[in-house]
Structure 1
Amino acid sequence: MFYVSIFFQYVAQYMKTRLQYRVDVFVELISDLLLQAVNLIFILVVFGHTDLLNGWSRDEIIFIYGFFLVPYAIFSAFFNIWDFNERYIVKGEFDRVLTRPIHSLFQVILERIELESLFGAVTGLIVMFYAGARMDLQISWYDPFLFVLFVAGGVLVYAGTFIMIACISFFADANTSIMPMMYNIGNYGRYPVDIYNRAIRFILTWILPFAFVGVYPAAYFLKKTEWYAYSFLTPIIGAVFFILSVLLWNAGVKRYRGAGN
Structure 2
Amino acid sequence: MFYVSVFVQYMGQYMKTKLQYRADLFVEWLSDLMAQAVNLIFLLVVFSHTPLLHGWSRDEMLFIYGFFLVPYAVFAAFFNLWDFNERYIVQGEMDRVLTRPVHSLFQIILERMELESLLGAVPGLVIMVYVGSRLSLSFHWYDALMFILLVVGGVLIYAGIFISLATISFFADARTSIMPMMYNISSYGRYPVDIYHRVIRYILTWVLPFAFVGVYPASYFLRKEEWYGYAFFTPVVGALFFAIAVMLWNAGVRWYRGTGS
Correspondence for 1:158: 158
Q: Distance in 2 between matches of 1:189 and 1:128?
A: 16
Q: Is the 8 A contact 1:47 1:58 kept in 2?
A: yes
Q: Corresponding residue for 1:66?
A: 66
Equivalent residue for 2:131? 131
Which residue in the other structure is 1:12 paired with?
12
The answer for the alignment partner of 1:57 in structure 2 is: 57
CA separation in 2, counterparts of 1:81 and 1:236? 23
Aligned positions of 1:113-128 closer than 5 A: 113-128=113-128
**SS at the partner of 1:81?**
coil
Distance, in Å, in 2 between the alignment partners of 1:235 and 1:104 is 25
Q: Distance in 2 between matches of 1:150 and 1:17?
A: 32
Q: Which residue of 2 aligns with 1:30?
A: 30
Q: Residues of 1 paired with 2:176 and 2:191: CA distance?
A: 28
Partner AA of 1:79 in structure 2: F
Match of 1:185 in 2: 185
SS at 1:82 equivalent: coil
CA shift, 1:174, in A, is 1.3
| Alignment-mate amino acid for residue 167 of structure 2 | C
Give structure 1 regions of 4+ aligned residues with deviation exceeding 3 angstroms: none
Deviation of 1:122 after TM superposition, in Å, equals 1.1
Q: Structure 1 counterpart of 2:199, which letter?
A: A
TM-score, normalised on structure 1?
Answer: 0.99
Per-residue deviation, 1:176: 2.6
Instruction: Give the AA of the match of 1:37.
Output: A
* Aligned amino acid, residue 171 of structure 1: F
- Residues in 2 aligned to 1:49 and 1:67: alpha-carbon distance in whole angstroms: 24
Q: What is the deviation of 1:16? A: 1.1
Q: Does the CA contact (< 8 Å) of 2:85 and 2:173 recur in 1?
A: no
Q: Residue type of the partner of 1:99?
A: T
Counterpart for residue 149 of structure 1:
149
Contact 1:69/1:121, CA 8 A, preserved across alignment: yes
Which runs of 5 or more structure 2 residues have no equivalent in the other structure? none
| Structure 2 counterpart of 1:196, one-letter code | Y
What's 1:39 paired with?
A: 39
C-alpha separation in 2, matches of 1:140 and 1:174:
51
Which position in structure 1 is the counterpart of 2:197? Answer: 197
State the alpha-carbon separation in 1 of the partners of residues 197 and 51 from structure 2: 21
Helix, strand or coil: the match of 1:102?
Answer: coil
Deviation readout 1:179-204 (Å, 9 max, x if unpaired): 00000000000000000001110110
What aligned pairs does 1:236-247 form with structure 2 within 5 A after superposition? 236-247=236-247
SS in 1 for 2:21: helix
What residue in structure 1 maps to residue 111 of structure 2?
Answer: 111
Question: Are the aligned partners of 2:216 and 2:230 in contact in 1 as well (CA < 8 Å)?
Answer: yes
**TM-score, normalised by the number of residues in structure 2:** 0.99
Q: Compute the RMSD of aligned alpha carbons.
A: 0.7
Q: Which residue of 1 aligns with 2:75?
A: 75
Matched, 1:207 2:202: no
- Contact persistence 1:169–1:176 (CA under 8 A): no
**Percent identity of paired positions between Structure 1 and Structure 2:** 72
Is the contact made by 2:165 and 2:179 (CA closer than 8 Å) also made in structure 1?
A: yes
